[in-house]
Chain A
């Protein structure tokens, strides 16, 4: 059976050029990047080259890039680090209801430390209104954290407008760029953000590697302790292979982004049109908002997403009901319910996320498989009106 992968927002395969770039780190270049000797210097050289590559993708200076153990850690470092380093009292944070759990849970951790957190709601299209962010700002607001693109729906938030307001109000601005990186052009200076998180494995790099852009001059406390690596921001022996993989992936993204996003947008639109026509009683979640080109999230009314995911997997098609981390959880997607969707429709929603190896033939095969499964599932559905 041919197996096709439509879950690139969960993770991506390591690109061949990324793997080639990482290879020396597992053989000759094994030094500790903080060592004085030649071996260490070789590793340092690769590490700093990777830093330049990541900076290059974001329009940042290399000194503004801190390598982390992934997107979750980058988000935690940004939020906990920025707020904990603030000497203001009281302290207030603004974020939104559709953030990734690693942002929401970091904010909850801050609440337990006495920080006040405001969760700004999104509209039915998944967009947060800059006016609502402005209304949530207070003199004591330390940080505004709004994701760049949503992992489940692909909806792109108006970060530039939000950042301008927040900075005017004297707050730092963080954006979780894990799902935007490599999919839409990003320039951190143009966006006007102070902190930007990204992850390697969403852009054809290795798992366990990520980075945080920290605008020069921004104060940030570390969240782990024990060394001076990464300018005291992220102690621990540098993960050279991971950073090199991230660097190579960033470089690849920079070079291919324009053409690839155009190709994926065309495939995604073809998929959306065909699925909705074929399945009927279906619609795109977040349709009215700008979205990253590879993602579509579709509700198939009167069926239950978990069984569709399994049925499709048995047919060789990998899709998901939402975030990989929340699959198998009983709650309907917090992102979709935050958009005002009723739980049954949220549970009947599937995310399709395309990537480098996705072809038109694969998309057509997916449409056929979904069409077949949807018919059977609806026949057996207890909730279909008859």
Chain B
């Protein structure tokens, strides 16, 4: 029987190119696929002058991915997933900001595009497996038969925070060949393999916002769709309801934010909460940002089927935050959990994900409410 074909998600960056190179070198039959997710020409006012690469789906990235596939001599196609990306990632991203939340589009993209529509496409064209350039590890637990997700070996590059939503069916068909490697090794490997992208810069975290200005993106997207602009002016208030100033739209704020409040105060002020109903931004001291517990919804467990008993875990609240020890308790609704930290944590932000770890093992995750 011929070896099973693997579809490699190629973005044109170093990591996914190295994946294609590694698998190909090991003699695995691969098909390179680049997902066309977003048309950068759609909101041209947001593209900084002169910026061409390092953005998702730019023609340059497709060019690079194609060049790598040509270099390896493997079949390569661009597949268009713009419709689903817009409905499942971009529109919710905008809605989250309008609702006072701070979204993580990468997680939605993983859940609905990379490990869903992309996996479907791979199977339709005859590939039973997919491989991506994520820094994370997947392994099968022989005892339970479950597929486990672990952090990548390179802690500075670990992307497991974005992968907590993967189901067992998805993990069973997924390969993360970079999980055992450090970024420096990946770069060296890319150079050894003679990949034309070996020296390329890192890509942006949120690929479809070319200038990193989320607020402008929200406004431009709504205008492009012919939808009403976000409610502009509103009040910035203290915890006790005192009006301290004005803001130009709640979508410009995230919990923990300090810059851009435009208020002179004796001590630094931080965003504590965003209230879409009153169109208000609540600010206060650094100390007031600290919270001990929160609840989270749409929990997905990877390491086990469901949570019967409270479990001790290190909980990560944002991609760049250090994990903190907590107890995760099941709620009456199995899709929800209650999380209580040992020590109060700063900036628990609705819309971000709480990911539950035990060491390098990802237990699961959920959306912070």
Of the four ranges (under 10, 10 to 19, 20 to 34, 35 or more), the interface on chain B belongs to 10 to 19
Q: What 1/0 mask marks residues of chain A from 309 to 346 whose CB sits below 8 Å from any chain B CB?
A: 01101100000000000001110000000000000000
Q: Which residues of B, 65-89, contact A by the 8 Å Cβ criterion?
A: 75, 77-80, 82-83
Instruction: Give A307's nearest chain B residue, CB to CB.
Output: B124
- Is residue A360 contacting chain B, with contact meaning CB distance below 8 A? no
- Inter-chain CA distance A311–B75, complex, in Å, is 11
Given A314-B31, A314-B75, residue A328 in contact with residue B124 (CB < 8 A): no
- Is residue A304 contacting chain B, with contact meaning CB distance below 8 A? yes
Give every chain B residue within 8 A of A382 (Cβ-Cβ).
Answer: 120
Give every chain A residue within 8 A of B78 (Cβ-Cβ).
Answer: 328
Given A328-B36, A380-B120, residue A311 in contact with residue B82 (CB < 8 A): no
Distance to closest chain A CB from B35 (angstroms): 11
Q: Is the Cβ of B83 less than 8 Å from the Cβ of A330? A: yes
Q: What 1/0 mask marks residues of chain B from 78 to 122 whose CB sits below 8 Å from any chain A CB?
A: 111011000000000000000000000000000000000000110
Distance to closest chain B CB from A42 (angstroms): 40
Give every chain B residue within 8 A of A304 (Cβ-Cβ).
Answer: 124
Instruction: Give A312's nearest chain B residue, CB to CB.
Output: B125
Q: What 1/0 mask marks residues of chain A from 294 to 310 whose CB sits below 8 Å from any chain B CB?
A: 00000000001011001
Give every chain B residue within 8 A of A377 (Cβ-Cβ).
Answer: 124
Q: Is the Cβ of B80 less than 8 Å from the Cβ of A328? A: yes
- Inter-chain CA distance A313–B36, complex, in Å, is 19
- Inter-chain CA distance A306–B77, complex, in Å, is 10
Q: What 1/0 mask marks residues of chain B from 222 to 265 whose CB sits below 8 Å from any chain A CB?
A: 00000000000000000000000000000000000000000000
Give every chain A residue within 8 A of B82 (Cβ-Cβ).
Answer: 330
- Inter-chain CA distance A155–B77, complex, in Å, is 30
Q: Is the Cβ of A376 less than 8 Å from the Cβ of B124? A: yes
Distance to closest chain A CB from B43 (angstroms): 16
Q: Is the Cβ of A310 less than 8 Å from the Cβ of B125? A: yes
* Residue count of chain A within 8 Å CB distance of chain B: 14
Q: Which of B36, B75, B125 contacts A307 (CB 8 A)?
A: B125
Give every chain A residue within 8 A of B123 (Cβ-Cβ).
Answer: 380
Q: Which residues of B, 121-139, contact A by the 8 Å Cβ criterion?
A: 121, 123-126
Instruction: Give A377's nearest chain B residue, CB to CB.
Output: B124
Q: Is the Cβ of B83 less than 8 Å from the Cβ of A380? A: no
Give every chain A residue within 8 A of B125 (Cβ-Cβ).
Answer: 307, 310-311, 314
Instruction: Give A304's nearest chain B residue, CB to CB.
Output: B124
Q: Which of A311, A313, A329, A330 contacts B124 (CB 8 A)?
A: A311
Given A313-B75, A314-B126, residue A307 in contact with residue B121 (CB < 8 A): yes
Q: Which residues of B, 20-39, contact A by the 8 Å Cβ criterion?
A: 31, 36
- Inter-chain CA distance A314–B124, complex, in Å, is 12
Give every chain B residue within 8 A of A310 (Cβ-Cβ).
Answer: 77, 79, 125
- Inter-chain CA distance A314–B36, complex, in Å, is 20
Distance to closest chain B CB from A306 (angstroms): 6
Give every chain B residue within 8 A of A330 (Cβ-Cβ).
Answer: 36, 80, 82-83
- Inter-chain CA distance A328–B34, complex, in Å, is 11
Given A311-B125, A311-B126, A377-B124, residue A306 in contact with residue B75 (CB < 8 A): no
Give every chain A residue within 8 A of B126 (Cβ-Cβ).
Answer: 311, 314, 376
- Inter-chain CA distance A310–B333, complex, in Å, is 43
Give every chain B residue within 8 A of A311 (Cβ-Cβ).
Answer: 124-126
Instruction: Give A330's nearest chain B residue, CB to CB.
Output: B82
Most buried by B among A306, A311, A376: A306
Give every chain B residue within 8 A of A376 (Cβ-Cβ).
Answer: 124, 126
Distance to closest chain A CB from B78 (angstroms): 5
Q: Is the Cβ of B80 less than 8 Å from the Cβ of A329? A: yes
Give every chain B residue within 8 A of A307 (Cβ-Cβ).
Answer: 121, 124-125
Q: What 1/0 mask marks residues of chain B from 327 to 350 whose CB sits below 8 Å from any chain A CB?
A: 000000000000000000000000
Distance to closest chain B CB from A360 (angstroms): 27
Distance to closest chain A CB from B42 (angstroms): 11
Given A330-B80, A330-B82, A330-B83, residue A380 in contact with residue B36 (CB < 8 A): no
Instruction: Give B86's nearest chain A residue, CB to CB.
Output: A330
Give every chain A residue within 8 A of B120 (Cβ-Cβ).
Answer: 380, 382
- Inter-chain CA distance A314–B31, complex, in Å, is 9
Distance to closest chain A CB from B57 (angstroms): 11
Distance to closest chain B CB from A323 (angstroms): 14
Q: Is the Cβ of B31 less than 8 Å from the Cβ of A306? A: no
Q: Is the Cβ of A306 less than 8 Å from the Cβ of B83? A: no
- Inter-chain CA distance A313–B123, complex, in Å, is 15
Give every chain B residue within 8 A of A313 (Cβ-Cβ).
Answer: 75, 77
- Inter-chain CA distance A244–B14, complex, in Å, is 46
Give every chain B residue within 8 A of A306 (Cβ-Cβ).
Answer: 79-80, 121
Q: Is the Cβ of A380 less than 8 Å from the Cβ of B124? A: yes
Q: Which residues of A, 208-241, contact B by the 8 Å Cβ criterion?
A: none
Q: What 1/0 mask marks residues of chain B from 198 to 230 whose CB sits below 8 Å from any chain A CB?
A: 000000000000000000000000000000000
Distance to closest chain B CB from A225 (angstroms): 28
The list of the 7 closest CB pairs from A to B, nearest first, reads A307-B124, A330-B82, A310-B125, A311-B125, A330-B80, A310-B77, A328-B80
List 27 A-B residue pairs with CB atoms under 8 Å apart, sorted by A's residue number.
Answer: A304-B124, A306-B121, A307-B124, A310-B77, A310-B79, A310-B125, A311-B124, A311-B125, A311-B126, A313-B75, A313-B77, A314-B31, A314-B75, A314-B125, A314-B126, A328-B36, A328-B78, A328-B80, A329-B80, A330-B36, A330-B80, A376-B126, A377-B124, A380-B120, A380-B123, A380-B124, A382-B120
* Known A307-B124, A307-B125, A328-B79; 12 more pairs at CB < 8 Å: A306-B80, A307-B121, A310-B77, A310-B125, A311-B124, A328-B78, A328-B80, A330-B36, A330-B82, A380-B120, A380-B123, A380-B124
